[in-house]
Every structure is written in structure tokens, then in C-alpha cells.
Structure 1
């Protein structure tokens, strides 16, 4: 059982400027969603960040909402929260796989996303994972988003000044004619 295993947790990243984080939640199971949100908010606040929360009908809509926000807003990071409990049909696999795939694709496009969509067999498993005083998967998802944001800011800063810049006089190759547009 995962709860009996000790896991290493990265130290909380620090930021010169507090991050703006969007929490997107599917509150289909309201009590579970509320616990996930509480954990995520606590982690964001502990990092000096600010958050807004948006609700969507279900887990399948979470990647779409984050994609829209990524194109049309100025959030630094995103936290995806929800719960999918296995039922009697294959709908469970569709929702789990497609919501996860959608978030992964958005992450590969550069959005900093923490995935806190629980995929469980029963309500008991969901309650244990969502509990902020237990496994705190909402806080873990927020921490993941913040760690990705810290890496993004670290690596993004190193790109300043990179790109095409016309050669200056001291860097011209000997014997090459000068560019008439730069003289």
C-alpha cells in the first residue's frame, strides 16, 4: 500500500515574485474536490503565491480549461484537480487516459501543470488521497506545478540575449565585405 511507503519530497521552491496559479477543479465528488483544493491552496500560499479557482463539469474538461487559460490569461502555473472512481463501464479508462494525456500535451507545450486528478477504485481510496492531513494529493499537485515553474523561470532567464544579432565590427571575419545596411 502506497501510504505505508515513505517518499522523498523535494524542498519547496522559492520565488522572487510570487506565482499566479490557476486551480482548475472538477467538483463531481464535492467533498473530495474541497479537500484537494484545500491542500493545493495551502501549498500555493506557503510559496508566497496567489491563486484563482475555476470549476468545470468533469475531468475531461480540465485540460481544455487549462489550455484556454494558457492562451488567454497570464497565470504562471496550473493545478488540475478532480476524482475519477472506477465504475461498471469502460468510461473510467477513457476519462483517466484522456484527461492525463491532455494535461501531458499541454505540459509539453510549456505550461507548468500539476496533475492532481485522482484515479481510484473506490471512495475510500479517494478520501485517503485527498485528505490534506493524509496523502494530500492536492498539495502535491500544487507543489509539482510550482517546481515546474521554478525550472521554467530558471531556464527561461538563461535565454535573454539569445537570437540573431548582427555582427559588430570587432567580430567581422577578415576579408569579408561589410554589410551596406550596417555601415
Structure 2
């Protein structure tokens, strides 16, 4: 195991060593300026954690509701150590926001559990565009760290 520390892993921790990992990214195109920034931050952090660029597959889907089906297709390939979901849902004036947020989140969780595969869910949900802009870099970076940490944790628990 990796020791008794139950807090966040430190830089250089085995849990944050991505050198041997294969990562799949599914990015929603809806709110593309935000999702592109999420993806840029995510891929930069994956590189910083040692994940080779050639070990990262990045696909695009129309929106957040389509993310789970692409994640499922990637999970079925049995070649990824972790997956990352990227999207942005901004509240509008209708119930559609809740529907998309709830269904995409439930779909991502179901794929992770069904395939016992870590999925970092960075489909951000915000009230407005300024909130999305404020979150885009940190959430993209966080998704990369979650994917690497969870892939290594599940490997250690196997």
C-alpha cells in the first residue's frame, strides 16, 4: 500500500505518478470556450503528472448528455486506467439545466461503477458564465489529478 497518510497525496507521491497510465478524455462541445479551457488545463496537468501524451485519447461529443455513452464505449475497450468527463452546463430559465446535470452525472457514475473504472467528473454546473470561467482551469486540473490518483489507488487495492 502507499502508507498511512489519509489526506491528499503530496507531489511526488506514487498515487500521482501517471507515467504508466492510459487516460481517456470525453469532452462536450456545448459551451466550447469553457470546455476547451477545461481540456487544456486537464491535459497540461496530466503531462505534469507524467502521463505520456501518446497515452491520452481525447474525443468530443455534442453535449453533456452524450458524455456517458462515449465513456461507456471507451470503458468497453478495456485499455484505460481512468477516464475523464469534461463539460459545462450553465443554468438557464427552464428545467432543462436540472435534467442535463442530473442525467449526465448519473450516467458518469453508473459507467464508473459498472466497469469499476475511475472517472473524474469535471462536467461543471454553474449559475452563469462568469462562474464557469472562474472554475474552468482549477476543475480541469483537478480532473487530471483525480484520474491519476484513483487509477493508482485502484491498482494498489487490486
TM over 0.5, yes or no?
yes
Matches within 5 A, 1:69-84: 69-84=74-89
Asked if structure 2 preserves the Cα contact closer than 8 Å seen for 1:21 and 1:78, the reply is yes
Deviations 1:99-125 (A, max 9, x none): 111111122220110000010010000
Which structure has the larger Rg over C-alpha atoms?
1
Give 1:3's aligned residue.
none
Match of 2:108 in 1: 103
- Aligned pairs for 1:45-124 (under 5 A) are 45-49=47-51, 50-109=55-114, 110-124=116-130
Does the 8 A contact of 1:24 with 1:66 survive in 2?
A: yes
Distance 1:89 1:127, change over 3 A: same
- What is the deviation of 1:94? 0.6
Unaligned runs of 5+ in 1: 1-7, 157-183
Q: Which has the higher contact order (CA 8 A, sep 6+)?
A: 2
Please give the TM-score of this superposition, normalised by the length of structure 1. 0.74
Residue 3 of structure 2 is matched in structure 1 by none
Note the C-alpha offset of 1:16: 7.7
The aligned length equals 145
RMSD of aligned C-alpha atoms?
Answer: 1.7
TM-score (normalizing by structure 2)? 0.85
For 2:134, the equivalent position in structure 1 comes to 128
